[in-house]
Amino acid sequence: MNRKLHTVYKIVRTEGGAFWSMSFGRSDVCLVQYVPGQWVQAPELMRRLGYDLCVFRDLTDVCSFIARICWRPPSDWQLWRCHARGVHEPRVVYLRVDCVTHYVQSALDGCPPDIDTIAYGNWPPGTLFARAVRLIDPVPWDHELLR
């Protein structure tokens, strides 16, 4: 794995004092728990299909994403500055959240569904994949670059 460290940004969902992945909702197959200061990777199943952890290039990209989906982030979302390794552009389709589990299971069974029926569109601008991510410190939603 590329050892070069990149500073990136990650939106996580908080639940029960833990930090969880946002990209695939609550799909058990794809769920990632983040622990501040510890390196995490995407689940093995997702890595085999070409999916690593989703992060944003910079705060401007986070701001654009939030503005695109909601006028202010829900109370259970947190933004973190992170270190990442193995950073690269996404090379796989942006899946609809409600189709992720079905897609993963079908692909593992050797018969993936028609990708056009489950694709969501383009990845949000500034989305990158990372082989490993470590949450460093939270960024308040009222940060001057997010206004």
Q: Give pLDDT tens digits for 73-127.
A: 788 889 999 999 999 999 877 765 555 555 555 656 666 555 454 455 678 889 9
Q: Are 57 and 68 in contact (CB under 8 A)?
A: no
- Tell me, what's the pLDDT at 124? 85
DSSP 74-116: -TTEEEEEEEEES-B---S-EE-GGGHHHHHHHHHTT-PPPHH
State the pTM of this model. 0.80
